[in-house]
Amino acid sequence: MTRTLAIANQKGGVAKTTTTASVGAALADKDVSVLVVDLDPQGCLTFSLGHDPDQLTKSVHDVLIGAEDIADVLLDTDDNVTLLPATIDLAGAEALLLMRAGREYALKRALAEVAEDFDVVLIDCPPSLGVLTLNGLTAADEVIVPLQCETLAHRGVGQLLRTVNEVQQITNPDLKMLGAVATLFDARTTHSRDVLADVSDRYELPVLEPPIPRTVRFAEASASGASVMRGRKNKGATAYRELAENLWDSWNGGKVKTHELEIS
214 secondary structure, DSSP code = P
CB within 8 A of 246, min separation 6: which ones?
Answer: 208, 209, 210, 256, 257
226: pLDDT strictly greater than 70: no
- Give the mean pLDDT of 109-113: 97
Instruction: Give the DSSP H/E element, type plus range, for residue 128.
Output: none
Query: Which of 217, 212, 210, 211 minimizes the C-alpha distance to 234?
Result: 217
Phi, psi of 76, rounded to the nearest 5 degrees: -85, 160
- Residue pair 208/142 in contact (Cβ under 8 Å)? The answer is no
For residue 54, the model assigns a pLDDT of 95
pLDDT class of 263 with cuts at 50, 70, 90: very low
**Domains contained in the chain, CATH given:** 3-179 (3.40.50.300)
Angle between helices 217-224 and 235-251 (to 10 degrees): 80
Instruction: Give the whole-angstrom CA distance, residue 150 versus residue 152.
Output: 6
- Give the mean pLDDT of 221-239: 69
- C-alpha distance across the termini of the chain, in Å: 42
pLDDT class of 264 with cuts at 50, 70, 90: very low
Instruction: Give the whole-angstrom CA distance, residue 229 versus residue 256.
Output: 22
Lowest mean pLDDT among 26-35, 178-187, 249-258: 178-187
Residue type, 108: K
For residue 152, the model assigns a pLDDT of 65
- Residue pair 9/184 in contact (Cβ under 8 Å)? The answer is no
What separation in angstroms does the CA of 144 have from each of 19, 23, 150?
A: 10, 12, 18
Higher pLDDT: 230 or 165? It is 165
- Residue pair 104/64 in contact (Cβ under 8 Å)? The answer is no
H helices present in the chain, as ranges? 16-28, 44-48, 60-64, 93-98, 106-112, 131-139, 157-170, 190-203, 217-224, 235-251
Q: Mind listing the pLDDT tens digit for each residue in 172-216? A: 999 999 999 988 877 777 777 787 778 778 888 899 999 898 765
Lowest mean pLDDT among 82-91, 117-126, 147-156, 177-186: 147-156
For the CA atoms of 74, 183, 41, 61, the dihedral, rounded to the nearest 10 degrees, stands at 30
Q: What is the SS3 assignment for 251? A: helix
Instruction: Give the whole-angstrom CA distance, residue 209 versus residue 222.
Output: 23
For residue 193, the model assigns a pLDDT of 77
With 0.75 as the threshold, say if the pTM is over it: yes
